[in-house]
Amino acid sequence: MWQKLLDRLLKGLIVEGALEVTLPGGTTTLYGQPDRPPIRIRLSDPARIRQFVTDPEMALGDAYTEGTLTVENDDIGGLIALALRNMNGGGRRPHALRPEKLMSRLNQITSVARAKSNVAHHYDLSNDFYRLFLDADMQYSCAYFEHPEATLEEAQIAKKRHIARKLRLEPGMSVLDIGCGWGGMAMTLAQEFGARVTGVTLSEDQHRLASERVAAAGLQDRVRILLRDYREVEDRFDRIVSVGMFEHVGMPQYGEYFAQVHDKLAPDGVALIHTIGRTGTPVAVSPWIIKRIFPGGHVPTLSETMPHIERSGLYPCDIEILRLHYAETLHHWERRVQAKRAEIEAMFDARFWRMWRFYLLACEMTFRHGRQAVFQFQLAKDQGAVPLTRDYLYGPEKDAMQGLREAG
C-alpha cells in the first residue's frame, strides 16, 4: 500500500525535470519528463517508504543521513532543488499527515531557559568544528557579495561594513549586539568605528571564545561579551544590532522582542535587525531542520513581523531584501565541509557529516529555488535619525567613510 501511495505522491509532485527512483525490491520508476536527464536515487530501507508518504521532509533528511537513501554522484543538492522547483511550480506539494502549524507554534515558545537549551543544541557543538568551514572571523550568517568574484572572507567583511553604515556609528557610541556569536561584529564595530559594544550570547562555547578573542585583540576597554539573554540586559544603547538571531526568537515572542529593542534604544538611536526571512506566504519551518538542527526556530515573513514593529513604536526607516546572497554563502560553506570531510567525521562520525551537508545544501537550495531571502530592518524611535536617501550606503559618503577607515 505504501509503495502505491509513494508512487502517486511522486507522480503528482514531479512535473518538471525527471526523477528515477529504485525501491528496496529493485523496482525502478521514472517520474516527470522522460526526455530530461534524471536525478537517480535508491532507497534501501523498506521501513522508510511509509515515512516518505506520511512525513516526507523528515524522511528525506534522515534517510540521507543514515545512508539508506543514496543519490547518483551524491547529488543530494540536485534532488532537493528538483523537489523545490516542482513544489514552487506545477507539482503538488507533499504534506505531512500531522498538525504541522500547531506543533510549529508550540515549539517556538521560548523562555530564557528554553532559549539557552535551543542555542546549546546548535552552537555548542564545538568551536573547532565551526572553524573548519566559516571565514577567519567566524561569521555564521549571510555574507554580502558586492561582486560575483568576492571570496567568502571579502563578502563577510562587506556584510559587517554594510551593517555598520546602516547604524550610522560615531566614535564612542554604545552598541548592544544581540546574539553576538563569536564576537566578530562587536570587534569590528569597536576597531573600525570606535564603538563601545556589549555583546550577548546564550552559547557557552561562543561566550568563551569571543571573550578570548576580545582579550587577544586588546579590546577589553571597548567590548564586553556577556553570557546573558537579551531580555536580561537593563542598559540603554545608542545603537542595537542583531545579526542572525531573530530566526531563533519564535513568533510568540515577537512582540516582546521589538518592545525590548524599543526600550533599550536611546531616543535618537538606530537599530539594525538582520534575519533570514520568507518572501512568500507564512509556512512552518521544515520539521527536519527544527528537530535536527535549529529547535524553536522560525523564518518570518514581512506580514508576520511588521505588525509587531508597528506596535512597538519603532519607525521602520529602511527594509532591504538581500536575494541570493545567502545561497552563495551556503555554497561556500558546503564546499568547505566537503573539503574537511575527514576531519569532521573524525570529530563526530559519518552520519553527522552527511547530516550537516544535507542541512547546508537544503538551505542553499531553498534560497535559490524557494521563497527565502534575508531581511535587514533599520529601525528608530525618531524617523529623522537616519538620512532620507541611501546615498550614505552606496554613494560618495560610503567612499569617504572607507577612506577615513583606511587612513585610521
Residues forming a β-bridge with 201 = 227
How many structural domains comprise the chain?
Answer: 2
The predicted structure's pLDDT at residue 125 = 86
**Domain-located, residue 151:** yes
User: What number is the average pLDDT over the span 330-350?
Assistant: 98
Q: How confident is the model at residue 108 (pLDDT cuts 50, 70, 90)?
A: very low
51 lies in some domain? yes
pLDDT value at 101 more than 80: no
The answer to whether residue 94 is domain-embedded is no
Whether residue 110 sits in one domain with residue 48:
no
Do 137 and 172 belong together in one domain? yes
Confidence band of 99 (pLDDT split at 50, 70, 90): very low
Q: Which residue has the higher pLDDT, 397 or 249?
A: 249
Place 297 in a pLDDT band, splitting at 50, 70 and 90.
confident
Same domain, 207 and 71: no
Residue 334 phi, psi (nearest 5) = -65, -40
Which pLDDT score, from 0 to 100, does residue 82 have?
A: 97
Q: Are residues 148 and 32 in the same domain?
A: no
The domain that contains 317 carries what CATH number? 3.40.50.150
Question: Which pLDDT tens digit goes with each residue over 245-271?
Answer: 999 999 999 999 999 999 999 999 999
pLDDT digit string, tens, across residues 137-160: 999 999 999 999 999 999 999 999
Question: What is the DSSP track for 285-332?
Answer: PPHHIIIII-TT----BHHHHHHHHHHHT-EEEEEEEE-SHHHHHHHH
Answer yes or no: is 400 within a domain.
yes
Q: Is the dihedral of CA 210, 212, 215, 216 positive or negative?
A: negative
Question: Are 269 and 397 part of one and the same domain?
Answer: yes
Q: Give, rounded to a whole angstrom, the gap between the first and last alpha carbons of the chain.
A: 71
Is residue 360 included in any domain, yes or no? yes
In a domain, 301, yes or no: yes
pTM of the model: 0.91
What pLDDT is attached to residue 398?
Answer: 63
Residue-range definition of the domain harbouring residue 361: 106-407
Q: Domain check: are 270 and 382 in the same one?
A: yes
Same domain, 189 and 50: no
Q: Tell me the per-residue pLDDT of 16-36, one tens digit each, with 9 for 90 and over.
A: 999 999 999 999 999 999 999
Catalytically active residues are 363
